[in-house]
Chains A and B, each alone.
Chain A
Amino acid sequence: MDEQLLIKQCKQQQRQAQQRLFEELYPSAYRLSRRYLFRSQDIEDVLIGVFVRIFRHLESFEYRGEGSLRKWVNTIVIHECIRFLSAYRPVITEEDVTFLAAERDWDGDPSGVDAEQVMLILDQMPAGYRTVFNLYAMEGYTHSEIAGLLNITEGTSKSQLSKARNHIIEKLKERKSYGTL
């Protein structure tokens, strides 16, 4: 069905159309939220909040061609994930960024590292590192945007990204040295 028509029907509170839209958006929303959260229960809770928010605010959404809906939904997913993560404590606390951690050497040869292991490394990272890394490296946010989203300074965002990269490199090296690669 035409996406625009589906949106129109959803705006008219047609439950069947809402279900269809959910079915279409659910996989990408699940994948996106999984980058920030790794407990399935948390992901389910966040996705419920995401879609409730989508259906309640769909009236304010303006269709601007193909992909605009997905972009809008992705923004909501990211916002909801961050909100969930910072519900009990801030994802990142402000830090002294006078000296940014020097990024470690990376020989760029992670051959043999499978996707599952990379996901494990990311899951084991502190939430602050993971969030900033995801926003910067995966979603393409700028430090300025990240700072606004997480309510931190740009310096902190840069620092967190640097630490996240070092963490990943270290873990990749560990795995290589232990012969897990």
Chain B
Amino acid sequence: MEPYDLDKFIRDKVKEAELAFPVNKREVRDRIWNGINRQLKLRPASWLKVAVLIVFLLIPAGVLVLQNTRQKYQIKDLRNQINLLQQDYRTMGKKLAQTQNQTPAIVHDTIMLIQPAVLTTRTDTLEVIRYITDTMVVYQQPKLAGSTNAYEDLAYPAADTGDAASELKHFSPAISEFILSDAKKDLRSKPGQSRSFSIIFGSGNTGKEDSQMNGIKAKL
């Protein structure tokens, strides 16, 4: 018999066998259909899911980045302000001596020392106070014999001829007390708003009365 006949024989037998194949098995058919369905549905859905997932992941991350950036700018801004204030008060300490003849001395464009310890400021008063409390270095004159207040002490240091009188005593922090004459309830005044209160510069170790006696009244 020719090979063709072998092929025909096999072909017939295969077709006969195929009739017995479990093509009507519901579970196999369902499994295949579910697989097809899954793949057909998953294609667009997977893109959507991925997109939604990315958005959900990016939103908090973006918010965090924004917050972080904002905080960085705020911190940078505060650092700048602090640096300016530090410069102001370093200068102010030196200028105190220059104002003893009651001539106004400009300490900084935002703070002006009009007379000994009388200050005007356009910065946040609370920041000023906090800074003064923490870091300010004040050169205080020893009390002159017979003087009754600190104005005299600072205004006329040269009047004292004793050895102690010519020395400037350096101590830090030097503020013993704030006397808030105004805006006590609203210390956080905005820069540019004028607020008036008194600061007593002094050693702080002699009680209120002594402190006032030895201190300097400052107006912010």
Contact = CB atoms under 8 A, between A and B. Distances in A.
B103 to A, nearest CB: 90
Interface residues of A, number: 39
Given A35-B14, A52-B40, A27 B28 contact: no
Contacts of A169: 6
Given A34-B18, A103-B3, 8 more contacts: A15-B37, A22-B32, A47-B32, A48-B39, A55-B40, A115-B14, A137-B10, A169-B6
Interface in A153-181: 165, 168-169
B21 A34 contact: yes
Contacts of B188: none
B164 interface: no
Contact of B20 (A45, A103, A113, A115): A115
Interface string A77-109: 000000000000000000000000001001110
Nearest to A161: B3
Q: B interface, how many residues as a size bin?
A: 20 to 34
A19 B32 CA distance: 11
B215 to A, nearest CB: 87
Interface in A1-45: 15, 18-19, 22-23, 26-27, 30-31, 34-35, 40, 44-45
Given A27-B23, A51-B32, A122-B10, A108 B17 contact: no
A165 B17 contact: no
